Structures are given as structure tokens and as C-alpha cells.
Amino acid sequence: MLNKEFKKKFDTESNRLKKATIQGDFLYFMKKMDSIENTALIGALLKVRNLEDLETIKTFKEISNENPENIETAPNYPGGINTLRKEVADLLYVDGVHSEVKMLKTSVAFIVEKDGSVSNVHAQGDNFTFNRQAEIALYSISEKFVPAIAKGDPARFQFRLPLTLTMSK
């Protein structure tokens, strides 16, 4: 709806200078909307992490790969690891990453639950904003994993995904 309204205003304006101003206003507005959405995603991430932390306090759950000899098959993302990497890369909000360094690295640790869902996502790297965006991206993936199998049953499994971002600035 907003696109339509801005376009209508843009199309009805005949002055080229005013058209450029309208276009600039539109781009500025969309960047602000993007920023608001990112703030909301960070808020959602904090809520999820707080709930997971509370759940961890209530009941300690054993992670199957603490005893790797029990694992028959590791978890698998539909399409494989490269599909997962591509989806995470597509979900990364790079405008929310602030850095003076051109190449950023993080390692995202998470648990693949027995039902294939992702929980307890924690990224560790030198750039705080990249870490948070990587966590949001991992929580936002569209598919569930095929869970790990231990002794014939689905099992929880701790997974680690290294990520690198090259800034174009």
C-alpha cells in the first residue's frame, strides 16, 4: 500500500526536482521501516533467548552429542549444508551489521531438537552486530532439520555453523 501511495504521488508530480525529492523520501522511509523491522527481530530474539534460558533453568536436558558414540546419524538440513548456508546468508540483514573490518567471522552454535527445530542459538565472533544478525537468521530458517538418530530414536544434537561476511564498504 505504501509503495502504491508513493508511486501515485510520484506519477502525479511533474516537477523533476520534486520527483527526486519524493523518490528520496521513499527510499529514506523504506530504510527506516527496515530498521524498525530489524529492531522488532532483535526484540523477538531476546524474548526467545530469555524463554530458552528459563527452560534450561527449569530442566537440564542432555544433549546427545556429549556422547558421540551413541549417534547413528547426524542431523541434516533439507538440501544439505550448502542450502542451509545459502538460506542463512539470504536472511542476514547486513545493513544491521556495523564494522570497520572488511571480513567478519562468527561461529553459530545451536541445538537441533528431536523434532528438527532449532533452539539455543548462540553466535560467537568478534563483531557483536554480526553475531546478533546471524542468530536472527538461524532462528528464521524456513525448514526443520531431519533430527539426529541415536539408538534408533530422534535425539538432540549440538550443531556448529561457521559463517563469514565480507563487507563491501
Domain at 62-169: CATH code: 3.30.2420
Check residues 10 and 153 and name the one with the higher pLDDT. 153
Which pTM value belongs to this model? Answer: 0.64
Q: 56 — phi, psi (to 5°)?
A: -65, -40
Q: 100 — phi, psi (to 5°)?
A: -90, -15
CA distances 55 to 47, 111, 113, Å, are 12, 14, 14
Check residues 115 and 2 and name the one with the higher pLDDT. 115
Q: pLDDT tens across 20-69, in order?
A: 887 877 777 767 666 666 666 666 666 666 566 555 544 444 444 445 66
Check residues 18 and 52 and name the one with the higher pLDDT. 18
% of the chain at pLDDT higher than 70 = 73
Q: pLDDT tens across 92-118, in order?
A: 888 888 888 899 999 999 999 999 999
Which part of the chain has CATH 3.30.2420? 62-169
Q: Where are the alpha helices (DSSP H) in the chain?
A: 2-12, 16-58, 81-91, 128-139
Mean pLDDT for 11-25 is 83
